[in-house]
Amino acid sequence: MIRFEQVGKVFPDGTTAVHDLSFEVREGELVTLVGPSGCGKTTTMMMVNRLIEPTSGRILLAGRDISGEDPVALRRRIGYVIQQVGLFPHRTVLDNTATVPALLGWRRARARARAAELLDLVGLDPATYGPRYPAQLSGGQRQRVGVARALAADPPVLLMDEPFGAVDPVVREKLQNEFLRLQASVRKTVLLVTHDIEEAVRMGDRIAVYGQGRVEQFDTPGAVLGTPATPYVAGFVGADRGLKRLSVTAVEPADLEQPPVARADEPAGDAVARMRAEGARWAVVLGDAGALRGWIAADGAESGSVGDHTRRMEAWVPLGSPLKQAFSEMLQHDAGWVAVLEGTRFVGVLTPAKLHEALRRSVDAEAQGIGRGEVDFDSVADA
């Protein structure tokens, strides 16, 4: 969708902002541009909508060289979200959101209907927030309006310059989650500029790590964290890149152990006898259709049904969750394992040893270009 071919930018004072830039952003892909201040990432993004003109090379959008496009018409086909949002203070939230459709000549009723639809999509009730003015909104709400406005004319490409940088960390995480949810449904081609490697890893399908005016590595988050291409990239992502990788490695069925299982309606004595025969101190309790009900300890559960002795399962995550989320659940609940669910159905448990093994498999799989299940090594749990 967006292709950079040997693009360079030298400013009149002789400063080289970008040198020999060549990479491609596929349709529906979210690519994060990450690097320190002054490395050229914002210049790169602004050349896509011709707010800055390249001095060499060319940029293609959907196969067409943008240098031959009318800049104003081009910008109206590209959504643009900036850190300070840039809402018009004298216009209502609904009218702010309808700005681009109105510029494109949409009828007022159609433009406002589209604006209301987008406000609802970003989690703002149009009946409540539509009549308000930007000054009446929180920073996070203004940022949501900025995203809605950028999407209002349904552009195929979205440019985002530090879109979540002006809000506090708690709101930033909520906005990131909301945007990822939104992106899963609208599948825009997105360039997102950030200086935060954590945000780049969390948001990007692929990451372009910038040095001074050039891309040092362009790859998936897992590859950047697991196999940095240069010492510069390794230093930029940090010595704790293994911990960061927890956030981009999903829990898979092959990572799980299968503990003893008891049914909620069976006699407790039968379940305890089975646990002791297997040398287990506890069992997972399941209800109908494999739904997780909790867990039962082998001690002190001789009479009545398993359900009478079932304890609540505090530590659990959905299948496909990041290993970081599973690790956080272990720490938060001081648990030696977490239950993993697919919907309400119990799939297995993730232990610390299996979490470490999953992380190692993920790193090796990236390095070898194979699936995690194909990686073979001695497990810590078996040592």
The letter for the amino acid at 324 is K
- Inform me whether the pLDDT recorded for 379 exceeds 70: no
- Inform me whether the pLDDT recorded for 370 exceeds 80: no
CA distance linking residue 51 with residue 250, whole number of Å: 38
| Residue 380 counted as domain residue | no
| Residue 226 counted as domain residue | yes
| Residue range 16-55, pLDDT digits in tens | 999 999 999 999 999 999 998 889 999 999 999 999 999 9
- Inform me whether the pLDDT recorded for 153 exceeds 70: yes
The number of domains in the chain is 2
Which CATH number is 266's domain given?
3.10.580.10
Element (H, E) at 6: strand 2-10
Query: Are residue 98 and residue 147 in the same domain, yes or no?
Result: yes
| Residue range 76-121, pLDDT digits in tens | 888 888 766 678 889 899 998 888 888 888 898 898 898 898 888 8
The letter for the amino acid at 222 is G
Query: Are residue 52 and residue 32 in the same domain, yes or no?
Result: yes
- Sorting pLDDT into bands at 50, 70 and 90, what band is 166? low
- Domain of residue 286 covers 253-358
For residue 17, the tally of other CB atoms under 10 A from its CB is 23
| Residue range 279-319, pLDDT digits in tens | 888 889 998 888 999 898 888 777 888 888 898 888 999 99
| Residue 212 counted as domain residue | yes
Which CATH number is 200's domain given?
3.40.50.300
Q: At 58, is the secondary structure helix, strand, or coil?
A: strand
Among 192, 223, 248, give the residue marking a domain's end.
248
| Residue 94 counted as domain residue | yes
* pTM of the predicted protein model: 0.73
Query: Are residue 218 and residue 129 in the same domain, yes or no?
Result: yes
Query: Are residue 178 and residue 296 in the same domain, yes or no?
Result: no
Positive/negative CA dihedral, 192, 209, 250, 297: negative
